[in-house]
Amino acid sequence: MEDAILGFPEQLVYSPIIQNSKPTSFRNYVLCGMGGSHLAAGFFKLYDSSFPLSVHYDYNLPALSDAVSKDSLFIASSYSGNTVETFSFAQEAYNKKLNLLIIASGGKLIEFARENNVPFITLPTRTIQPRNAVGFSLVALAHALSHKTLASQLQVLSKRLHPALYKKAGEELANKLLGKVPVIYTSNKNHSIAYSWKIKFNETAKIPAFFNMFPELNHNELSGFDIRSETKNLSNRFHFIFLKDENDGEHIEKRMDATKTLYEKGRLPVEVILLEGESVLERAFNSLFLADWTALSLAQSYGIDPNTTPLVEKFKTLIV
């Protein structure tokens, strides 16, 4: 896990190749991926929110009109290449003769692509988890979508990222979170960052963790922490992490500050973390380095293997 964190910048200089025929441009793009295999799409949308890319987190194809489907590229993304939901998505797209591209490191999806002459990108094979391979996946996705600007900027960004700088801060944050359930809050536009924090706590540290976004959380979740004597024991285990971005805007900043004030009056611990970096992706990745080191330190404190996800593997055997 430590090697995966430190080696992340190297992922951004990866040069993907689309094998079989290369797709042309389309009006719409639909990516199917589960867990860490769809994180790249979230960061792509963070970088270019106007790009017509949507994400599907389920079996089979999403409900789209025939006209939209025919003018769309369906991208099946699975780091292992064996994700059952993503495989069903690819099979249905192929059976309906829709435009399909596969991104995986191997497994059934790459075999399927080779056997059926489907365009595919083979991700580098590393002994890392999908949540740690988002660099490879994002570079491959930029290439698949012919987004040359992003691909070029990722190359430049690889030289600006220094994961080791966030190790000490991650260990310090982990000490504060021992025995606590992290809840990550951020602005709606940065929800992919908060979601990635949650995944790292879940899979690396093997602890419950949750996330939500401003302004929506102020209309519902806020009421769940209206601390009363009858309910205070329910809230004692939570520790809030606010991911603050200088580009969030005045309205979101006011909401964050007001929420922090109310929570602290209720004796709920709040940690405010400012996203650091000159670009949106630099801020995102630097934040994730902090999340990685924090989750790794928690795993070490709890005596837990940070790499494997045994409960997920056990679950898979129950649904075969």
- Per-residue pLDDT of 199-215, as tens digits, reads 999 999 999 999 999 99
Report whether pLDDT(126) > 80.
Answer: no
Q: Is the pLDDT of residue 230 over 80?
A: yes
Please list the active-site residues.
203, 219, 316
- Name which of 50, 109, 47, 49 is nearest 77 in CA terms: 109
Q: Where are the domains of the chain?
A: 2-157, 163-302
Q: Specify the pLDDT at position 320.
A: 80
- The torsion region of residue 146 among left (phi > 0), alpha (psi -120 to 50) and beta comes to left
- Looking at domain 2-157, what is its CATH homologous superfamily? Glucose-6-phosphate isomerase like protein; domain 1 (3.40.50.10490)
Can you say whether the dihedral through the CA atoms of 217, 218, 221, 225 is positive or negative?
positive
- Per-residue confidence (pLDDT) for residue 127, from 0 to 100: 76
C-alpha 267/C-alpha 177 separation (Å) is: 15
Q: Strand 18-19 to strand 120-122: parallel, antiparallel, or no bridges (unpaired)?
A: antiparallel
Q: Give the residue, 229 or 114, on which the prediction is more confident.
A: 114
**Residue 53 pLDDT more than 80?**
yes
Specify the DSSP element, H or E, that contains 152: helix 148-157
Determine the pLDDT at residue 227. Answer: 87
DSSP string for 220-235: TGGGGG---TTTHHHH
Residue 79 has pLDDT above 80, yes or no: yes
If you ran DSSP here, which 8-state letter would residue 265 be given? H
Residue 144 has pLDDT above 90, yes or no: yes
- Mean residue pLDDT across the chain: 95
User: How many Å apart are CA 138 and CA 42, to the nearest integer?
Assistant: 9
Comparing CA positions, the residue from 144, 139, 142 lying closest to residue 113 is 144
Query: Looking at this protein, which amino acid is placed at residue 112?
Result: F
Amino acid identity at 202: N
- State the pLDDT at residue 36: 85
Peptide bond into 215 cis (omega under 30): yes
CATH numeric code, 163-302? 3.40.50.10490
pLDDT of residue 67: 87
pLDDT (average), residues 228-240: 92
Identical topology for domains 2-157 and 163-302: yes
